[in-house]
Amino acid sequence: MTGSHCTFPSLSFSQDSQLPSFSALTTLANPVTVAPSQDQTSFPSPSSSRQPGSKAGSPSTSSPTGRRFFLSYLYPSSPRGLLLFIFFLLTSTITILAGPRFFPRIHASVFSLQARLRPPSSTATFSRFSAAVTYSTYVALTPSAAMTVPDKYKNPPQEPPVFTGTKGSIIADARKYCDTYRALLDKIVSEIPPEKATFESVTHPIAHDENEAALFVHILGFYQYVSGSEELRNASTEADKLMNEFGIECNMREDVFKLAESVNKKVDSLGLDPESARLVDKEYNNYIKYGLSIPAGPKRDRFKEIKKRLSEIQIQFQKNLNEENGGLWFTLEELKGVPKDVLEGLQKGEGENEGKIKLSFKYPDLFPTLKFALNSDTRRKVFIENENKCNENAPLFTEAIVLRDEAARLLGFPNHATFRLEDKMAKIPKTVNDFLGDLRRRLAPGGAKEVDHLLALKKKDVEARGLPFDGKYYLWDHRFYDRMMIEEEYSVDENKIAEYFPLQKCIAAMLQIFEKLMGLAFVELTPEERARLSPTGKAEDISWHEDVIIFSVWDDESEGNAFVGYLYLDLHPRPGKYGHAANFNLQPGYIKRDGTKRYPATSLVCNFSKPTATKPSLLKHGEVVTLFHELGHGIHDLTGRTKFSRFHGTNTVRDFVEAPSQMLENWCWTPGPLKELSAHYETGESIPDDLITKLISTKHVNDALFNLRQLHFGIFDMTVHSPENHEAIEKMNLSAEYNKLRAEISGLKGPEDEGNTNTWGNGQATFGHLVGGYDAGYYGYMYSLVYSTDMFFTAFKSNPMDGSVGRTYRHKVLEKGGSREEMDSLKDFLGREPNAEAFYKELGIAE
């Protein structure tokens, strides 16, 4: 949902990072970045069906002398390296095993996605983290890391966070923080009259408290997305509710607002540095957004009531999605064509379902079925049921839309979209609507041509199989024939491509790319190192699940060898886990009270397929792109260098936050990096040049249809958040509007063409983005592509691995986070105003 993502909101997805103290703090407890919506299954995203990767190459030239970056030992190139590697394999007790499948991500703000499930019982296990731990995707790095890490990278100056929360402690810690923060505000108000309020007496103490509280508040909210314990997930959700309600209370305190207002009035005379002055401005304006411009009385009381209810809706909506565990029972015949690896991982039926297998709506099951199932009735049933998998969210979605509109009008805005866009790069709804409308106009002819071509392919296919041709191209046809077209006309088989992208190899190679580009060094923490660095002395206490992989991250020698932070990877699905791919900030970076630096900790939560007994986890090319994108958000989070946690890393405006990671997706469509990311899971050979050429040739296949699908999401978002009047949104049937717009914009047929009404599905009830922080903001995925494409074509296209340019990008864009206007960071890096020339050229449409 990017360093949203998702993403990527209070302890559930919602607002942007520029919120008053407590609110800003709790928003960070949600996925930072989330991938574009993939629950909506009608189209394959370019990042989900066709995209390259890169192979682990030789050690970075910028790596410290003598370091021989430990990742290179995963795929040793010298005889000496090979002998050492074999020696450590023979002397270790680790059994290497991995496994296939997964899907893209969604951005937002601090948390996101799913971790990995234990491999099936037939899969080997080993003692990576404890006596009975399942195989971890990146296990092959352990022996080499232990052997080659220089002493200077062995002692981080800061302990990693701990994940030892219990049902009781999570809720108690949330209450304790509320009490402590309330006492701080009471003390400031009692001691400082408005006329004497200054940055040092009011804003700074609150900001320091916000910084320090984020160290544990984010983690309290994180459990609900990743914990394997339902009890802990529920406690985390309850803590979320408590803190959100308290956040609303704090943000609506008029006595504190008067102090913030006083500081804001005199800000120009205080001699503040730019980031501190920005904090004062954001603090004041966000009190306004919490209703303190509304005169005290019934209207303000109603506004507060709305904010509390919206918080409850957000939490419940996401919980329903996380806990969704439905599915459909099919016979093997009905699933004919679906890859064997997928079928082997499905639940076997008993009793009335004897002889059937259960297909869940999780990505590793859903997408292969829509792509490969020969039976169109099976695909139709899966598609429609997936749209209706969380219908309990439909009334919640409607209530949220109506309440947002009412709240915006209470604040004096004509609609919610105007309210939300005020501090974004787009600024006003007209800018967004013009942008989306213009793209729709330009893309529609290409989309129609693509449908005609795919319909002809469908006709040929069904007639060859002796089936009747209905003359229509349906939503549930698209993934199937899009995949077939790429296989038959471009000779690209996504399952064969995946054999060159075993997950652990991709991770190793991606980290090497970031080493070379940005001057970083990644050191995996072995079980022994975890125990040594753990504040409790227990290795298991510094992760939330046994499959989690942890790295300490450092500047390399060229950047000064300083500590950067901690990176966590939670890569496979499990019950109750967040269901997309996203980046979560666990602890932000900032400058402490004593002037020293506090270092960040960040996590990637993903849903890649598990290893099987015979294969490692193999990534489809689209999954390679997704992983690189999410890792980009993680690097954005790690490399942030700001004074206040409010502005750290991916805490930027929504219509910019995706740009850095979107830019990095280009590396997965470039021959050199693709080579580096690849190594066949059986032979170790890099992906052949001719296959790379074929793969890259598919980058824009059916691109108009994909982008029209994204426009459907964005236009629906703007439609429901900018009604002509409040009565209009109260009367709007959101299910009908969602399906009507999809049919009009996408050009694909749905159940409406079979005689059903537009209310056949509730896709909006699965659209977590619009309840989790991307309200009146989904356009940002397309909008930020203008910036990301401009940056890539201007600075990186001629040499994607230019370390000097990569370091400039790190320091001028990533490092700044939200501490200055995002446009200023862009202009600083580009040396000019950004423009859309490269964006339109890449889409293949005239500017």
What's 515-562 look like in SS3? HHHHCEEEEECCHHHHHHHCCCCCHHHHCCCCCCEEEEEEECHHHCCC
CA dist., res. 655 & res. 756, Å (int): 36
The yes-or-no answer on residue 333 being catalytic is no
Task: Give dist(CA 158, CA 569) in Å, integer.
Answer: 19
Asked if residues 652 and 424 have their Cβ atoms less than 8 Å apart, the reply is: no
Locate all alpha helices (DSSP H) within 562-653, ordered by sequence: 621-638
239-249 core/surface letters (b: 16 or more CB in 10 A; e: else): bbbbbbbbbbb
Cβ-Cβ contacts under 8 Å for 10 (sequence gap 6 or more)? 23, 26, 27, 29, 30, 240, 243, 244, 247, 311, 314
In this structure, the strands spanning 31-34 and 133-134 are unpaired
Measured CA to CA, the distance from residue 220 to residue 163 in angstroms comes to: 9
Task: Kindly give the pairing relationship between strand 563-570 and strand 520-524.
Answer: unpaired
DSSP string, 293-328: TSPTTHHHHHHHHHHHHHHHHHHHHHHHHHH---EE
State how far the Cα of 144 lies from the Cα of 139, in Å rounded to an integer: 10
Q: Alpha-carbon distance 825 to 822, whole Å?
A: 5
How far is the C-alpha of 50 from the C-alpha of 44, rounded, in Å?
Answer: 9
Question: Which of 419, 446, 447, 421 minimizes the C-alpha distance to 434?
Answer: 421
- The neighbouring-strand residues paired with 6 are 33
Q: In 10 A of CB 225, how many CB atoms?
A: 32
Within 8 A by CB and 6+ apart from 194, the residues are 258, 259, 261, 262
On whether the CB atoms of residues 479 and 44 are closer than 8 A, the answer is yes
User: Among the options 499, 529, 623, 630, which is catalytic?
Assistant: 630
Can you tell me the distance from the alpha carbon of 794 to that of 815, in angstroms, rounded to the nearest whole number? Answer: 20
Q: What is the rounded distance in angstroms from the CA atom of residue 511 to the CA atom of residue 528?
A: 22
d(CA 476, CA 667): 31
Tokens of 112: 């996101």
The dihedral through the CA atoms of 86, 91, 95, 101 has a sign that is negative
| Residues β-bridged to residue 20 | none
Locate 474 and state its tokens.
């349906």
Q: Are 516 and 801 in contact (CB under 8 A)?
A: yes
Cα-Cα-Cα-Cα dihedral of 48, 49, 50, 53, to 10°? 50
The helix, strand and coil proportions of the chain, stated in percent and rounded to the nearest 5, come to 55, 5, 40
Whether the Cβ atoms of residue 772 and residue 8 lie closer than 8 Å to each other: yes
Cα 705 from chain centroid (whole Å): 23
The residues with which 521 forms a beta bridge, in sequence order, are 554
Closest CA to 625 of 50, 40, 39: 50
| Residue 506 CA: distances (Å) to CA of 453, 512, 624 | 34, 10, 7
| CA–CA dist 60, 520 (Å, integer) | 10
How far apart CA 447 and CA 346 sit, in angstroms, is 35
What are the residues facing 602 on neighbouring strands?
567, 585
**Nearest alpha-carbon partner for 776 in 413, 252, 386, 443:** 413
CA dist 629 to 33, 64, 675, 692, Å? 10, 27, 18, 20
Enzyme catalytic residues: 630
